[in-house]
A and B are shown apart, each in its own frame.
Chain A
Amino acid sequence: MEYRVIGQSVPKKEVGEKVTGRQQYSGDLIFPDLLIGKILHSPHPHARILNIDASRAAALPGVKAVVTHQDTPHLLTGRWVHDRPVLAWDRVKFIGDPVAAVAAVDEETAIEAVDLIKVEYEELPAVFSPKEAVLPGAPIVHPDLANYKCDTVLKPQGNVVEQGGMTRGDVQAAWAKCYLVHEADYSTPVAYQGFTQPHETTATVDTAGRITVWAANKAPFILRQMVAQCLAIPISRIHIAAVAVGGDFGGKGTAQTEPICVLLALKSRRPVRLTLNREEELTATFLKEATTTHIKLGVSRDGAILAVQGHITYDTGAYCDIAARMGGSCFDLHGPYRIPNVDLTASRVYTNNSPRGHMRAPPTPQPVFAMESHLDMVASKLGMDPIEFRLKNAVEEGDILPTGQKIMNPGIKETLCRTQEFLRSEKSEPRPNVAWGVASFQYHGTTIDPSGIIKDKRMIQSSAWVKFNEDGSAVLISGVTEQGCGPLTIFSQIVAEVLGISYDQVSVVSTDTDATPFEFGTGSSHTTFRVGFSVKAAAEDAREQLLEAAANKLGVEPASLVVRGGRVHLARDTSKGLTIAEAAAEATVQRGSPILGVGVGQRKAKLIGASKEDLLDAPQHGTHAVQVEVDPQTGQVRLLKYFACHDVGFALNPQTVEGQIEGGVGFGVGYALSEAVISHNGKTLNSSLTDYRIPTSLDLVDIKTELVEIPSISGPFGIKGLGEATNVPSAPAIANAVYRAVGVRITDLPLTPEKVYLALKAMGESKA
């Protein structure tokens, strides 16, 4: 199939504004009477609030509003489980829990005012690890959890907020048949999304009481719904307006500080800006969950995986902004392999640590680190090449997964073979302390409802509108927000392709909740997949209407017309026709209204409650290979080369696809080598961007990307999801490379020099 616009690396729609500094983010908006907001956070991990005295803060000159729980309707909110207050009213549950906030004429005054708020607390026993949290007698973080409002069906028990599992065959009977059984534990740290734009919100209230919010948030309709719900304000009074978002990576898809900013604007009746500093970012926002995983896996003598048993535990901290993914966690722990006997479980547990939410491919980097490290050890014990071992066990077309569904168009084998070819081409003399490591992944991203428990079906739906202007150009109207990965560019390409016009003739209205149709948000690696489908459908609808108008004018049947070369003409006689502009103008005259195409899309694949009639036709698969050098004197791991191969179905914009992969690798390398939010008894110890180490340009190397294009059935133009999982294989690939370079197996991320050095030392001592 020949395409004109899709498949091309056109520049992003907004890129000119971004390179000239003209792109406006929430913090760039100018208001003459703007106030600056500041939050007072809890200093205790668990305490009862006895009294809040904000009188001195309110009396400070320059302070225009002080808000506490008394200014709120005492409603809990949450992305899934409604477990958190806007401002705490009875108990605080982590160090950083918002208790009060002020708005003042400048930042200095706001900081001074926050210090003047006096809160009396009675400290309560707290719990800081899931292991302790599930013991009898442990402090219960949410005693009323069973009665919380919830957008999924959870069966909470004590501090366990949700559990999930995946089983097949008989694991117990299988162990006896195994030639080799390997059992090990893995752990991963809390990590920070690390977007360069912090959470910042600007809110105004007009004279009629209508609220406008410009937020660093990629899910405007979810945000509107949450702000309305937790402040008991009707949706009709809330307008989430379009503004650029400076990175998201999962951290900007829920209401965090936005409701507090709105409260301050309502009370002060002036525009308020609330920006978090990095200390607040790292202590009081929803970060990536720490996990522990236990895996037992058995193989036959020739390397066929016969059984796997495992459990992964997620520490979700004081509030759980992510849920309904435990089925997905088990699915991804299982990976893209044929395994006849499976017993995998996952659980998510409350503690008094800071709260947890989404971060790029949640909750998958954790289980994949564990399983892909584990597989590498098994291959090594068998004396098998790690790629051959994976190839032997990889899923194939038509396999039935433990979920019950049939897998179609899997790309795993192709990505493994391409990686193998690449490594053969890289073959060189062995060097001491240098080796390659590989890891693969499967990600549940584009499936719906990975735990079968989502109540709100709008989560899986999408709609888009395409409007024709009278000159034949078009406007795409979509509720999707551009947070950097390029969805609006790719959608514009789709519209241009379908309508037969050029990319430059498509403009976009996005994000704005007053102007665009409901959209669940940019994320889960299914924005292009799901919304791309509705955009394509909307453009096709608009084209049908265009053909109809042209047919009326020409006195022919619409079916006899085609759109080609900027014209609508008879298929058999190119001379009889109209330009697209003439046809669009004609449609407006005939109907008294411009053409508006409407498209609806829906994700189809499901993981729980599926049968073999339910196809998993767009599985996300990939393989990474990385060459490292380990300094045995210091334990420092240095990257030398990186190869990343992903099956993307079809690359709608190859440069953007590459950019997603390169960025994902950078993200994954940080998780592998340097990133960990360290806390002690709930207190974060490294709350700045120098102490929390995001990779710099010197930590990374040039990344060779390779695309496999095995088309899906249900994705628009055969695409598969991509964005998130690009970061998933990096950590296990690096851990596997380190093992092969120097013989130490690090099972606890990140692979800091200290850990590698101590492991090398321990290995040396045990040999001596």
Chain B
Amino acid sequence: MKQLITLMVNGNPYQLAVEPYQPLVDVLRDDLKLTGAKKGCGHGHCGTCTVLLDGKAVNSCLTLAVDVEGCNITTIEGLVTDGQMNSLQKAFIKEGAVQCGFCTPGLIMMAKSLLDENPTPTEQEVREAIVGNICRCTGYAKVVKAILSASEGR
């Protein structure tokens, strides 16, 4: 039986009827058409669906939509403000940290969660933070550089 909930996503309230078993990623993608969060595995193994829940990174495939009513949800679409990209997005471009791009939104959200908590992480701390985000294209080298450069540039 569907339940009526209100989700706060990127600062906007959305009233939705969702099944109690629906993961947040499906609600974001299918109901709200916010397809920036990708569904790489649906089991919390790849990190492509990472979004922020009250500022903390979560796998939106392992988060039930009905459980996050009242939370502030931020997706990759919420990082651009007044047409300006976030410093992480700019750094990913500058450092060449993007290849196929499928893991990119999840990685950027995970990195944002890290930098919001720890604005000057070490390389090891960056590597630890993104350990749940699989990237098959880059070997993480330029991803780590991009996150470090965004942290310095804040």
Contact = CB atoms under 8 A, between A and B. Distances in A.
Contacts of A658: 96, 141-142
A428 interface: no
Interface residues of A, number: 58
A498 to B, nearest CB: 24
B142 A21 contact: no
Contact of B85 (A9, A20, A197, A694): A20
B131 interface: yes
A664 interface: yes
Contact of B33 (A30, A249, A656, A696): A30
Contacts of B116: none
A16 B139 contact: no
A23 B127 CA distance: 26
Given A19-B108, A198-B40, A697 B100 contact: no
Interface in A674-710: 688-690, 694-698, 700, 702-703
Contact of B139 (A30, A247, A663, A698): A663
B43 interface: yes
B93 A21 contact: no
Given A18-B101, A197-B100, A246-B102, A696 B131 contact: yes
Interface in B29-71: 29, 33-43, 45-46, 48
B103 interface: yes
A486 to B, nearest CB: 7
Contact of A655 (B29, B42, B96, B137): B96
A25 B38 contact: yes
A31 B38 CA distance: 17
Contacts, number: 173
Interface string A67-99: 000000000000000000000000000000000
Interface string A236-260: 0000000011111100000000000
Interface string A189-227: 000011111100000000000000000000000000000
B134 A197 contact: no
Interface in A646-662: 655-656, 658-659, 662
Contacts of A9: 96
Contacts of A500: none
A650 to B, nearest CB: 18
A156 interface: no
A6 B61 CA distance: 42
Interface string A1-19: 0000000010110111111
A697 B140 contact: yes
A411 B88 CA distance: 38
Contacts of A249: 136
B140 A484 contact: no
B99 A484 contact: yes
Interface centre among B127, B132, B141 (most CB of A within 10 A): B141
Given A20-B77, A689-B41, A689-B134, A659 B142 contact: yes
Interface in A18-42: 18-25, 27-28, 30
B144 interface: yes
A14 B126 CA distance: 26
Contacts of A198: 40-41
B152 interface: no
Contacts of A703: 139, 141
B48 to A, nearest CB: 5
Nearest to B95: A655
Given A246-B100, A484-B101, 18 more contacts: A11-B96, A20-B80, A21-B105, A22-B77, A27-B38, A30-B35, A193-B136, A196-B136, A198-B40, A198-B41, A247-B137, A485-B137, A658-B141, A688-B45, A690-B43, A700-B141, A702-B123, A702-B141
24 contacts: A9-B96, A12-B98, A16-B93, A18-B98, A19-B101, A19-B105, A21-B36, A27-B39, A28-B29, A30-B33, A194-B136, A196-B40, A196-B136, A246-B100, A246-B101, A247-B102, A247-B137, A663-B99, A663-B139, A666-B136, A689-B134, A698-B127, A700-B139, A702-B123
